[in-house]
Structure 1
Amino acid sequence: MVLAGTLLLAGCTSGGGSPVPGSPGVSVVPSGVSGAPSVLSSAAPSSSRPQRVVVLDPGHNGGNASHPGVINKPVPAGRGETKPCNTTGTATRTGYPEHAFTWDVAQRVGALLRAAGLRVEYTRNDDNGVGPCVDRRAAIGNEANADAVVSIHADGSTSPGAHGFHVSYSAPPLNPAQGEPSISLAHALRDSLQRAGYPTSTYLGSAGIYPRDDLAGLNLSTRPAALVECGNMRNATEAAAMASPEGRARYAQAIASAIEAFLG
């Protein structure tokens, strides 16, 4: 239950992360709410666009913390449920926020995929806006007729020793795309991250896979979709990797390689 006027502060999965303080002067970008354009694109000109489309969904947004009225609004989450429009995300113990991590990694992934000849779309076009809501993020992937939708996040568990990545898909499936296609995408992400040397989660899921029925972005998708929690921002080792450009480049390479492998 979300109380009116109360700011929802949450990490991605465990809810153990600290809130990210709101930044003064952050602007509300119109595309951050329900009036957003149908697709936020970083594709090549239309004359050279390849057929295959990848939608990247960088979790959260930099202006969320200072706009509780927007992000606390209930929106459809699939399976007859509702969830808050969005959350602030978590942060490392030194204050590096999840929304900045996911934005940077998504930009790096997009650059790698475009270089491989793929068309890339994003669910948000900056890191200082608000939202968009989780149902709108799913709709962007659907409207783009995406061949793959990947949501990029990081977790904030404070459980002792909690570390490692996990990948989620919607289960039980609500449409054909949420069955084998989404499972295959999730496994491609898991396998690529493992090959890159990342450990699987010690506290959620099994062998790096964590099927879920409560994530709106996955439940509402009609395209192959998966969500990757790249690691735990409250683990010192993983936090250091996420906060460094070199570390974010490694995460991006693993995610991009997984998407290319999935698309064949």
Structure 2
Amino acid sequence: MRGLLLPLLLVLLAGCGVADPLAPAPAPSPSSAAVPLPGARSGPLPGAETPTTAAPAGPAPVVVLDPGHNGGNAAAADEIGREVPDGRGGTKPCNTTGTETADGYAEHAFAFDVAARVTRLLTARGVEVRSTRDDDDGVGPCVDRRAAVANDARAALSVSIHADSGPSGGRGFHVALSDPPLSASQRAPSAALADALVAGLEAQGFTPSTYRGEDGLDPRPDLAGLNHARVPAALVECANMADPGEARVVEDPAGRQRYAEAIAAGVLRTLGR
């Protein structure tokens, strides 16, 4: 009698919809497999994309971003006007106030916003980003100190972010690098960085300057921040703020996001990431 109890119990359990504890587990359905979620917009800045690509393994490279000028410079004429070494045996003013659009959108605010967007894009790809300034209401730092931030960090590269005040009717970006070069890092490594930045900007639909440089490149001896650099370094003049059409782009958060994506792409290409 006891031998019949177990089969009878299993029949009763099956009839109630309870799984047979002795039966093998069913194979998972293909439709139940996890599906990766597409990337979503996030972060405090409007229009900023959060890349979903996994960062490569290994130590994070250090990149220094240098957003031009500062919001407190205009009220500190004596401090930013003092002379500092220009890297070529002469001197230059510590810093300047920068330019602005006809509607009063300041270059220092543009540069700081774009740098914040680039920081988020690079951080999502496993890059350690440092900045020459952490706010937009301070003074300086001086141009030689900005270069020292990257040199002291032994950064993989450094990018200065600016917008220009060019001639009426002039349009487009240009990427400056120290020329003639003063160190090994200012030769092929800086040239490769500049080329990658030009490619990134062109991929976003921006066009090279019609009034300065050639094919988007502007080698020059007078930029102290580049002269003092001992890591690969370049300076991006993103647009001519004096041009009404380009002013509308730099004033638009979506336009600033495009500049950020272009610069981030150039940095990642240079890093091989």
Aligned to 1:152: 161
* Aligned position for 2:23: none
Q: Distance in 1 between matches of 2:121 and 2:264?
A: 6
Query: Runs of 5+ in structure 2 lacking a partner?
Result: 1-56
State the alpha-carbon separation in 2 of the partners of residues 213 and 80 from structure 1. 12
The one-letter amino acid paired with 2:189 is P
Superposed CA offset, 1:8-34 (max 9, x none): xxxxxxxxxxxxxxxxxxxxxxxxxxx
Name the structure 2 match of 1:238.
246
Partner of 1:198: 206
Q: Measure how far apart 1:160 and its partner are.
A: 2.9
Q: Which has the higher contact order (CA 8 A, sep 6+)?
A: 1
Identity of matched residues, %: 57
Q: Name 2:140's counterpart in structure 1.
A: 131
Deviations 1:236-264 (A, max 9, x none): 11111101111101100010011000110
SS in 1 for 2:218: coil
- 2:99 alignment partner, SS class: coil
Equivalent of 2:195 in 166, 187, 200: 187
Tell me the residue number matched to 1:65.
74
Say which SS state the counterpart of residue 206 (structure 1) adopts.
coil
Question: Which one has a bigger Cα radius of gyration?
Answer: 2
Would the aligned equivalents of 2:171 and 2:246 in 1 still touch at CA under 8 Å?
yes
Please name the residue that 2:7 is paired with. none
Partner Cα separation in structure 2 for residue 263 and residue 57 of structure 1: 18
Q: Distance in 1 between matches of 2:214 and 2:99?
A: 23
| Corresponding residue to 2:172 among 164, 167, 173 | 164
Q: Deviations over 1:202-221 (max 9, x none)?
A: 00000100001110110000
Question: TM-score by structure 2 length?
Answer: 0.78
**Gapped regions of structure 1 (runs ≥ 5):** 1-47
CA positional deviation for 1:50: 3.4
Number of corresponding residues: 216
Q: Is the 8 A contact 1:50 1:119 kept in 2?
A: no
